[in-house]
Structure 1
Amino acid sequence: MTDQRFHLHNSLGYQVTMLARVIERRFEQRIAEHGLTRVTWCVLLAAGEEGLSTPSEIADFIGIDRTATSRALRQMEARGLITRSSGTGDGRSIRVGLTKPGQAALQAVLPVAQENAAYFEAKLTAQELAALRQTAAKLLQDEPRIVAKL
């Protein structure tokens, strides 16, 4: 007779969620030393490294809703990390740019992000890492993107 019980700790969803939380928690603890959160880090990365300049592009890149993005941008502007200005055309569009302190924060935390990724990737062989990435891509294929409401 097969066991019909659901085993939470053996479920793929539980294991993937726990892994994501461990990776994120380790990173968040380290960037907190720089006065950043994961969301503010992602905004800096989006605007500074990815060249995204509108709130909607940034929200899509991060995977958070527009309200959470607007709140993060207001807080970051108040801290002097970004500027928000009217875009071209009718003046209703907003353009986001990094200030010198924002660029400095991005540069200070880039090595932390790279080290955090390398720390977990080093636990796998090159073949395991490639298989994990391929498997994750396969599981995400044709699935709707979830937008977080922070």
Structure 2
Amino acid sequence: MSCDIPELTAHLGYRLRQLSNHVSQAFSRKLAAKDVTVAEWTVMRRLYPVESVAPSQLADAMGMTRGAISKLADRLVAKSLVVRDASATDGRAHFLRLTAHGAEMVPALAALAEQNEAECFAHLSSADRAVLERILANAVVQLRITATPVE
């Protein structure tokens, strides 16, 4: 049978997914040693610079559903990394914030992210890295991508 269709590797999307999977899986393994998932890390990182935030605001900022944030918050609460604080003015509302332990973990987890980045992209010259960053950032803007990648 004649095959006039391009090889998978001829597609930029295939190569991007191949690279993304490698980088994400390597980072996931590093985080797993700390009993944190990539999705949990992204929530913790978003919570780190703020005192507290409503789950709906966090969902909007991350481009995720409120249900997804709720499930992630449940997991982080179970691990004592995040707490839910009741609103002082609305009995139905609550806010998420890092526990002291969660806040202490963020810099160490950020160091793992930096280590993973260095390991995965050490082969790039600084000029090539800058070009790749510019190309990817431009694609994100052009495609109007706002969701935070979590897995």
Please confirm whether the aligned pair reaches a TM-score higher than 0.5, indicating the same fold.
Answer: yes
Map residues 55-134 of structure 1 onto 2, 5 A cutoff.
Answer: 55-134=55-134
Give deviations 1:83-137, integer Å, cap 9, x for gaps. Answer: 1112354343321111122123223312111111122232211111111111112
Identity of aligned residues (%): 24
Structure 1: which 5+ runs fail to align?
none
Gaps of 5+ in 2: none
Contact 1:52 1:58 in 2 (8 A): no
Q: CA RMSD in A?
A: 2.5
Assess, with a 3 A threshold, how the Cα gap between structure 1 residues 29 and 61 changes in structure 2: closer, same or farther.
Answer: farther
**1:94 partner amino acid:** H
Shift of 1:44: 1.0
Give distance in 2, aligned partners of 1:89 and 1:4: 65
Q: Give yes or no for contact 1:63–1:146 (8 Å, CA) kept in 2.
A: yes
Q: How does 1:128-147 map to 2 (within 5 A)?
A: 128-145=128-145, 147=147
**Alignment partner of 1:6: what SS?**
coil
Query: For each residue in 1:56-108, what CA deviation from the matched residue of structure 2 results, as whole angstroms up to 9, or x when unmatched?
Result: 33334444322111001012112211111123543433211111221232233
Is contact 2:62-2:146 (8 Å) kept? no
The aligned length equals 148
Moved more, 50-59 or 103-112: 50-59
